Amino acid sequence: MKRAMIFLLALLPGIALSAEVRLPGGTAIVLTTTSSINSDTSSVGEAVTATVTTAVVIDGVTVIASGAQATGTVNRKEDSGMIGQSGKLTVEFTSVLAVDGTSVPIVATKTIEAKDEVAGTVVVSTLLCPLALLNEGDAAILPAGTQIRAISIGDVTING
Partner 1 sequence: MSYKKTLLAVGPSIFAFPALIVLAAAVAAPLGNGLLGYPSGERFYAFLSDICHQFPTRSFWLFDHPLAICARCTGGYLGITAGVLAVMLTKGPTGRSYLAMGAALFVAAVLEGYIGLSDGNIWRAISGFVGGYGLMLLIRSASAVLFLKLRLIPNH
33 scored as a contact of partner 1 (CB under 8 A):
no
75 scored as a contact of partner 1 (CB under 8 A):
no
25 scored as a contact of partner 1 (CB under 8 A):
yes
Residues 6, 26, 67, 155: which binds partner 1 (CB under 8 A)? 26
Under 8 Å between Cβ of 67 and 96: no
103-113 and 147-152 beta bridge pairing:
antiparallel
27 scored as a contact of partner 1 (CB under 8 A):
yes
Residues 54, 66, 69, 157: which binds partner 1 (CB under 8 A)? 54
154 scored as a contact of partner 1 (CB under 8 A):
no
In the complex, least distance from residue 26 CB atom to partner 1, rounded to whole angstroms:
4
69 scored as a contact of partner 1 (CB under 8 A):
no
Of 33 and 135, the one with the shorter C-beta distance to partner 1 is 33
Phi-psi region of 67 (alpha: psi -120 to 50; beta: other; left: phi over 0): left
Residues 30, 55, 97, 99: which binds partner 1 (CB under 8 A)? 30
Residues 6, 11, 19, 28: which binds partner 1 (CB under 8 A)? 28
Map the footprint of partner 1 across residues 132-151, applying CB under 8 A. 147, 149, 151
Site residues (vs partner 1, CB under 8 A): 25-28, 30, 53-54, 147, 149, 151
